[in-house]
Chain A
Amino acid sequence: MRALHFPWLELSILIAALGAVVVYFTSDRAQARRRSILYSGLTLVTSVGGWIDFGLLRTFEAHDSWDPIARLLGVEVLAVDELSAPLLPLVATLFFLTHLATLRTKLRDYSFAQSLASESIVLATLSCRTPWILIFLLAAGTIPPWMEFYRTRKPARVYVLHMAAFVLLLVLGQILLDRGQDSPFALTGILLLTLAVLLRNGIVPAHGWLPDLFEHLSFGTAMLFITPMLGAYGMTRLVLPMAPLWVLKAVSFASLFTALYAASMALVQREARRFFSYILLSNASLVLVGLETATPIGLVGALSLWLAVSLSLTGFGLTMRCVESRVGRTSLLDFHGLYQQVPMLAALFLITGLASVGFPGTAGFVGLELLVEGAVRSDPLVGVAVVVVAALNGLAILHAYFRIFTGKTHAGTIDIRVRRAERISVLILTSLIFSGGLYPQPGVQTRYHAAVELYKLRASHRPDQLYPGFSSMIPDDQGKAAAPPH
């Protein structure tokens, strides 16, 4: 494995962790916000540096140079590959922009230290492929939200029950899998791991914790716990290489059902946060549908959609958070007519919302089209269902837009115009969304390389259970596919 020119991965993780400690001991809330922006900004710089460095190396995987953690533990823990390379700067961007868009009115609700700690854990998770350490990090990632439950004295039992089951299933599954792939318990181990990551992704009927999370936690914390889609990451690292094809098919159908159900539920929600949680669940499930369609195009589509949905739904979430910071929890039963006061917020709400449902010209469109193409190749009915999900989500987005921004003349005397920091945050995300939509080739190309890598990994573990459609990806010579053009 080649080495990056600089320890970018460790720096990103450590800067975020150091920031968490510094901000924790900062008593002035405004100062804490400024420092968190500084530390998350530095983390973003280093993670982008790592991404560029990885691209320049023209390799499939690379580890940090010097790598003090590897020397300390004796194993190479952190590495970046085709799958995780763009995910690291993506996650750093999401955290940075969320910190930037946090208004003074939200300072007492939102814990920046905890958010930086979460960022550090998520970055470590995405840089890690060793199963046990990955499981440890996935489990550790569930703690910061719980701390907010505890701090704000909100009922945490639903979250704790689901996350405890998630961790337990992960540990049991890996223990059984460690007995060897030929062991009679291997399949049980894979099934337990699959159940665990499905639970983390919020599969129906074990999805109750997700709306509950949005009910009780601050919007920023709940959003940043979901939008990096660590459930999908766990699926690609722990399940996809090992699972038999029938398990992948079952996961695909379960995810498709969840996507349909959540899209329909979004249409009947009475409150904006719960609406957002279902839109998020529906889109996250679509990513899983693509991952498990067992077709190359579907896999590329899912990996592309993963980036697009994370970006657009974070933008959408930030816009909703901006609305909430002005009018409090927003009912969808009535019209609010906020357009006249905040026309820019209305426009951004519409742009980010429609991007999340794959509107043409946005990053989501390419991902969705590839995903549907892959689904059609796998099973035409799955393709039809994915299109129906996109249609329902589009209906729900416009329904929410009309409820929040139109329908009456808003009579308020307080200035609720968008602040500069909020505008910058959402505009950056919007420009990324349009860039990905109008110039999709580089992004999709890297996702194709990542799909090839995932396939090769699967070929090394389950040569008897390969995707039938992937023969074009890996021809006779394995080494040939090992160097796709950058």
Chain B
Amino acid sequence: MTESWLFRAIGFLAVASPSLLLLLLGIPPLLSRKLDETAMAKRTASCVLIGLTACLIILAGMLATGDRTVILDLGDPLTIPEEHFHFHVQFIFDRLSIPFVLLTFILVGAIGSFANRYLHREPGYGRFFLSFSLFLQGMVVAALAGTIETLFFGWELVGLSSALLVAFFHERPAPVLNAQRIWSVYRISDAAFLLAALALHHTYGEGDFHIFLGSGPWPEGQSALNSSQAFWIGLLLLIAAAGKSALLPFSGWLPRAMEGPTPSSAVFYGALSVHLGAYLLLRVSPVLEKSPLLCAIVVAIGLATAAFAALVGRVQSDTKGALAFASLGQVGLITAEIGLGLRYIPLIHIMGHACLRTLQLLRAPSVLQDHRLIENAVGAHLGQPVGIERWLPPRYSRSIYLWALERGQLDSLLDHFVARPFLAFFRWCDRMERKWTNFLSGNGGRESDRVPASVPAGEEP
């Protein structure tokens, strides 16, 4: 385990470069100063390059010295010694985090360069790059986190930037409503994550990975949790991962996320964000190993998600939707691999899949042209792919087709059994409250009841 000052300084550079980018892009608008497109693109490229170079140097150093773990310890921003409570900020460069963070910098750099042209003169150009820098910060922090609190910090930033970018074309209601739905799922996932973090804090008084995942280098650590603790804490982490990676039963949001611009769809839902749940499971794999039942649940959810995505993806009528489900199918398989106890295979699977899917999503706007080019090159029409419907009995194929077209009706089930009863009950409470205050005041006049749905700007009612 290396903790030399040189490694720490370079590691700090890797973590600080996204923060620098966030400050460089975030502060000027708050001071009402407008940045032009060239300045934003240059700042993004420079910071990504600094971070990528720092990570490559660390990787080279680790290979040269044979060290498997480099720790960057930034101390305790908060400690209450009397209560044995502290927040520890620590980053780990190891066999898991180094590939993931390198993938992050490479893809974010590539997509940033692509978006610079793709969004040229788009009114939301600055907003895109600001949210993008927030995403980069979240991904780097989450990938390198050495404590559960640090990982949660990155996790939340990724969620927020994701919701904001889905609502990128916010002059239309549809992207906004989809972003709202995605944010709802993320909040459930965040709540589960926070509870897991607190359960760990409650058990050990701190959330450092080396305490509860064992001190051995990844993936050889032995968790200090007992089987029951591992099951419950692992289950909470699995819910968090399922929300972030759109595993069943949270898969409904993934096609909705395709409302965002293509560059963000590629990097979020084809490459990085969608794999963050699987990354979390890999990071806490020593906890999974403590509970065979939990591993079985992970495998079941992974396989069910893969089967669901394979069925639903086949009948999607838009390219990005089909690619979203294709991604989901692979994420399901990666999850099942993790549940089966594999460690390096899912990591390689994540990296390969992320690169392929990013390329596919970036080419998605020109898929028809690509198709024509291939046909011209081949000199014949491309044949129809062989579908599984050939093996299905005709009486079931139609109903399965409809079920798949409705994306398993996951969203409508959620609406019907959760959202609508919840909203109906509290709307009733609101009506009762209004009646009660009307009764008390003896006056039914209330300005909020008379507020029109929208008011022209500058004209007070």
Chain A residues with CB under 8 Å of B202's CB are 373, 376-377
A264 and B78 form a contact (CB under 8 A): no
Chain A residues with CB under 8 Å of B423's CB are 267-268
B153 within 8 A of A: yes
Chain B residues with CB under 8 Å of A395's CB are 183-184, 187
- Map CB proximity to B onto A333-371 as digits: 1 under 8 Å, 0 otherwise: 111111111011001000000100001110000100110
A440 within 8 A of B: yes
Chain A residue at smallest Cβ distance from B157: A360
Chain A residues with CB under 8 Å of B83's CB are 296-297, 300, 472
Task: Tell me the residues in window 265-293 of chain A with beta carbons closer than 8 Å to chain B beta carbons.
Answer: 265, 267-271, 273-274
- Complex Cα distance, B88 from A441, in Å, reads 12
A407 within 8 A of B: yes
**Chain B's interface: helix, strand, loop or mixed, by majority?**
helix
A448 and B82 form a contact (CB under 8 A): yes
Chain A residues with CB under 8 Å of B427's CB are 268
B35 within 8 A of A: no
Stretch at the interface among A25-33, A131-139, A398-406: A398-406
Chain A residues with CB under 8 Å of B176's CB are 335, 402, 406-407
Chain A residues with CB under 8 Å of B191's CB are 387-388, 390-391
B173 and A387 form a contact (CB under 8 A): no
CB proximity of B239 to chain A, nearest CB, Å: 12
Chain B residue at smallest Cβ distance from A341: B457
A327 and B457 form a contact (CB under 8 A): yes
Contacts known (A331-B452, A334-B453, A398-B180); A158 close to B440, Cβ less than 8 A: yes
CB proximity of A28 to chain B, nearest CB, Å: 22
- Complex Cα distance, B169 from A409, in Å, reads 10
- Map CB proximity to A onto B107-135 as digits: 1 under 8 Å, 0 otherwise: 00000000000000001000100000000
Chain A residues with CB under 8 Å of B170's CB are 337, 339, 402, 405-407
B456 and A337 form a contact (CB under 8 A): no
Chain A residue at smallest Cβ distance from B205: A373
Q: Find B451's partner among A271, A361, A408, A448 (CB 8 Å cutoff).
A: A271
- Complex Cα distance, B423 from A448, in Å, reads 40
A329 and B453 form a contact (CB under 8 A): no
Chain B residues with CB under 8 Å of A383's CB are 195, 198
Chain A residues with CB under 8 Å of B433's CB are 208, 211, 265
A354 and B447 form a contact (CB under 8 A): no
Chain B residues with CB under 8 Å of A344's CB are 29-30, 32
B195 and A387 form a contact (CB under 8 A): yes
B386 within 8 A of A: no
B442 within 8 A of A: yes
Chain A residues touching B, range? 35 or more
A22 within 8 A of B: no
B460 and A155 form a contact (CB under 8 A): no
A483 within 8 A of B: no
B179 and A208 form a contact (CB under 8 A): no
- Complex Cα distance, B177 from A399, in Å, reads 9
- Map CB proximity to B onto A190-234 as digits: 1 under 8 Å, 0 otherwise: 000000000000000000100110011000000000000000000
A360 and B430 form a contact (CB under 8 A): no
B24 within 8 A of A: no
- Complex Cα distance, B382 from A346, in Å, reads 49
Chain A residue at smallest Cβ distance from B127: A343
- Complex Cα distance, B433 from A265, in Å, reads 11
B457 and A414 form a contact (CB under 8 A): yes
CB proximity of A336 to chain B, nearest CB, Å: 6
A175 within 8 A of B: no
A326 within 8 A of B: yes
Q: Find A161's partner among B29, B77, B440, B452 (CB 8 Å cutoff).
A: B440
A-B contact pairs, 7 of them (CB 8 A): A297-B83, A327-B460, A329-B447, A336-B454, A384-B195, A395-B187, A439-B77
Known: A328-B455, A347-B29. 8 other contacts (CB 8 A): A261-B429, A297-B85, A328-B460, A331-B452, A333-B453, A340-B171, A369-B198, A398-B183
